[in-house]
Amino acid sequence: MHALVQDNNITKIIKNPKSLVIGDVRYPAKIFQLWSKAEKEAIGLYEIVTDSTNFKNSDYYINTNEEYSFANNQVTKSWGTATAKQLEDSFYTQEDSDNGLMPSDKSVGDVKVKGLKTIKIEDIKQQASNLLAPTDWYVIKATEVADYNVPSDVTTFRTNVRAKSNEMETSINGASNVEALQTLFEYTQQDDNTTARPLGEFPRLES
């Protein structure tokens, strides 16, 4: 990305190379690839440097719109201070009802906006369901065929999936803030060069 700077002000952001007019001269798109950094800056075209100091994972934070600044002969793209998303659910109140802000299919006390904890727990439950689904037929067969028993390894696997799901949900519910919640899902390199996250992983059924 480049920015066009004229009279020390950014006048245009150029995301993709294209022909453009600067002053009375039209320059072809190929100058973005063929010209040196100094040659481009001589006509006011500056490569944009990204400062991601304030940018945070958008799964957990609301970032401000990107901003561009020109200083010390450099154009920088940056963001303002990010705001943490809502950790806990919020609920419809009587005031919402009185002010006509509650949908007709909702009641006072119903969830108004899901918090990150609820969203993450719903995701964990879905993952557990997806893992259990391929072995559901064993359980169904056992209820329909009198002399059939679910293999012990399948039973153990299904029990362990449910136990791990409950353990993960407990960890999520125990997060005191958004940063702590995010940390549960972040992978870090271990001493044996593998990666792991504090939340752990679901068991797998050995084939």
Q: How far is it, in rounded angstroms, from Cα 58 to Cα 22?
A: 37
Residues 6+ apart with CB under 8 A from 193: none
pLDDT tens digits, one per residue of 111-153: 999 999 999 999 999 999 999 999 999 999 999 999 999 999 9
Q: Do 77 and 12 share a domain, yes or no?
A: yes
Q: How far is it, in rounded angstroms, from Cα 188 to Cα 191?
A: 10
Q: Looking at residue 206, what is its pLDDT? A: 81
Q: Looking at residue 47, what is its pLDDT? A: 97
pLDDT tens digits, one per residue of 6-36: 999 999 999 999 999 999 999 999 999 999 9
Q: Do 134 and 207 share a domain, yes or no?
A: yes
Q: Do 125 and 104 share a domain, yes or no?
A: no
Count of domains observed in the chain? 3
Q: Do 207 and 141 share a domain, yes or no?
A: yes
**Half-sphere exposure of 18 toward its Cβ, with a 13 Å CA cutoff?**
10
Residues 6+ apart with CB under 8 A from 65: 79
Q: Do 129 and 108 share a domain, yes or no?
A: no
Q: Do 98 and 132 share a domain, yes or no?
A: no
Enter the tokens of residue 190: 């271990």
Q: Looking at residue 135, what is its pLDDT? A: 96
Q: How far is it, in rounded angstroms, from Cα 113 to Cα 68?
A: 33
The arithmetic mean of pLDDT across residues 167-183, rounded, is 98
Q: Looking at residue 67, what is its pLDDT? A: 97
Q: How far is it, in rounded angstroms, from Cα 150 to Cα 143?
A: 10
pLDDT tens digits, one per residue of 76-111: 999 999 999 999 999 999 999 999 999 999 999 999
* pTM of the predicted structure, to 2 decimals: 0.83
Q: Do 55 and 124 share a domain, yes or no?
A: no
Give the range of the structural domain holding residue 150, as residue numbers without chain letter.
116-207
* Residue among 28, 205, 71 at smallest CA distance from 132: 205
Q: Do 104 and 147 share a domain, yes or no?
A: no
